[in-house]
């Protein structure tokens, strides 16, 4: 029963990977816009902008997950909630540093076993 549900979720993710990338881009765009508009407010002026981006990114990611769960009818599971929090951290990094920084970081860890040092290229 659980294996069939996991295969259905995996199949749905693979079929809709373009939509998921689009949603990630929309979340990053909304994150940047909301942060730029609200960072000058009196209550938010005292906290670091990166912290505001992180909290907003996790919140927007969780909202998108719960909206997706509501539309598709899949049950809410704890490990997907944890996964959305981790994805929120990645999207906050994308919103603050950019897609190229995250891609370079990903490739640096992918090629960690190579003989060449990734820091020598910089």
What tens digit of pLDDT does each residue of 22-47 get? 988 999 999 999 999 998 888 888 89
Under DSSP, the state recorded for 20 is: H
* 62 contacts 81 by C-beta, under 8 angstroms: yes
**pLDDT score for 109:** 81
Please, which residues have CB within 8 angstroms of residue 44's CB and are 6 or more apart in sequence? 38, 52
Q: Which of 102, 106, 103, 58 is nearest to 84 (CA)?
A: 58
- Measured CA to CA, the distance from residue 76 to residue 73 in angstroms comes to 9
- Measured CA to CA, the distance from residue 25 to residue 29 in angstroms comes to 6
- Measured CA to CA, the distance from residue 34 to residue 92 in angstroms comes to 13
Q: Which of 105, 107, 94, 96 is nearest to 25 (CA)?
A: 94
Q: For the chain, list residues with pLDDT below 50.
A: 118
**pLDDT score for 119:** 54
| pTM more than 0.85 | no
């Amino acid at each position: 029963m659980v294996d069939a549900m996991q295969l259905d979720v995996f199949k749905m993710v693979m079929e809709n990977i373009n939509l998921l990338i689009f949603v990630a881009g929309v979340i990053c765009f909304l994150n940047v816009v909301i942060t730029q508009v609200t960072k000058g407010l009196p209550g938010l002026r005292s906290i670091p902008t990166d912290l505001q981006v992180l909290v907003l990114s996790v919140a927007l990611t969780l909202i998108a997950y719960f909206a997706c769960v509501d539309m598709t009818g899949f049950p809410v599971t704890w490990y997907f909630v944890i996964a959305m929090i981790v994805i929120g951290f990645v999207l906050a990094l994308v919103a603050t540093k950019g897609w190229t920084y995250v891609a370079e970081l990903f490739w640096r860890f992918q090629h960690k076993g190579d003989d060449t040092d990734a820091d020598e290229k910089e």
